[in-house]
Amino acid sequence: MTVYNFSAGPAALPIEVKQQIEADLYDWNGTGCSVMEMSHRSQEFKDMADENEALARELLNISDDYAVMLIPGGARLQYSMLPINVSSPQGSAVYAINGHWGKQAIKEASRFTQTVSTAPISDEVYADIPDYDAATLNPNADYFHFTSNETLEGVQWHKLPETNGIPLCCDMTSDLLTREFDVDDYSMIYASAQKNMGIAGITFVLMKRNMIGQSKNLIPTMTDYKTYADTRSFYNTPPTFPWYVMLLVLRWVKAQGGVGAIQAANQTKSSTLYDYVDQSGLYMNKVAKNCRSEVNVPFWLADENLNQVFLEQSSAAGLKALKGHMAVGGMRASIYNAIPLSGIETLITFMQEFERTHG
């Protein structure tokens, strides 16, 4: 039985990447050692790091105007690193909120700078992106932050937010490498690796070089972007294995035809699943169609008493991690880059049979 992992993260890895990890585990690049045992100061590891950055710049079309940094601590660390590096207690930052992680980001940032949300923050589950008037935003704010894809609610931005000239910063943890975009529209982008870039333990950060080293605050060395930009993320011993897995994933993305080809595949997968849910009598999606996520598809059963039965039977059928987040309920299929179309087709076949017997 083929198993499909629909986990929101840590998420599925491409089978080819897992096979390469298995092949390299005891003897990486003919060194006789695992990459986990190699010094990060060794030439072999430095060569790997060079390829990693070069490939990321190629796939995302990143110019030398941006520093590429690999920082431990996950996206949550970026929630504080961004304001303490770019703003101050006397400064201000604007946050567009359309889900759980945006709420977490503004909550943390509020400890270090004065924050303003573009619209009132709701206690309800978000099903769309709240409207706002960009002309009312303070153009002198230090930065504008948004979460491009909210994994819990399945709400995704499909166009750039209006910022009134404020530098744009984005948490792309769940959709970086899933679709094409212009890096030059942003001042800063960050993404934890465990969705589409590898495994947990490292966060990919892009930042315009002219924003780095400008902090008005006295901050710890390890939370200063300049530390990572100046040392190419080698200031201390980095998470070497996640770095290596990221390189394997970047190679895989290139082998698929690059980000454009990945985007086309993701759009096919998501539209196929949404089309089935929309015509179903048992399942529903509550997100506004103009901001539905292409990588996290939540759906609810008309009869919630069937939830546990659905989860038990789907898991037994090899369809894993479909339970929705407890804050949202229902089900959620996270269909990141590594999930093939066959996984969607298998899921729909199961859902059809479940609807036939329980609808």
Tell me which amino acid residue 194 is. Answer: Q
Contact 291, 212 (CB under 8 A): no
Q: Which two tokens stand for residue 166?
A: 């404020």
Exactly one of 28, 101, 157, 300 is catalytic; name it: 101
What is d(CA 331, CA 329) in angstroms, rounded to the nearest whole number?
Answer: 7
CA 343 to chain centre: 20
Any idea which residue has 């996640």 for tokens? Answer: 242
**Residue 243 a catalytic site member:** no
Query: Which residue type occupies 133?
Result: D
Backbone φ and ψ for 224, nearest 5 degrees, come out as -100, 120
Candidate list 103, 142, 171, 252, residue with the active-site label? 171
252 part of the active site: no
DSSP string over 306-323: GHHHHHHHHHHTTEE--B
Among this protein's residues, is 303 annotated catalytic? no
CA-based Rg of the chain, rounded to a whole angstrom?
21
**Catalytic annotation, pick one of 103, 195, 226, 323:** 195
The one-letter amino acid code at 33 reads C
Neighbours of 78 (CB within 10 A): 25
Contact by Cβ (8 Å): 315, 359: no
Residue 269 structure tokens: 């997968």
Rounded (10°) angle between helices 100-109 and 74-86: 40
Residue among 93, 149, 138, 96 at smallest CA distance from 119: 96
Give catalytic residues, as residue numbers.
101, 171, 195
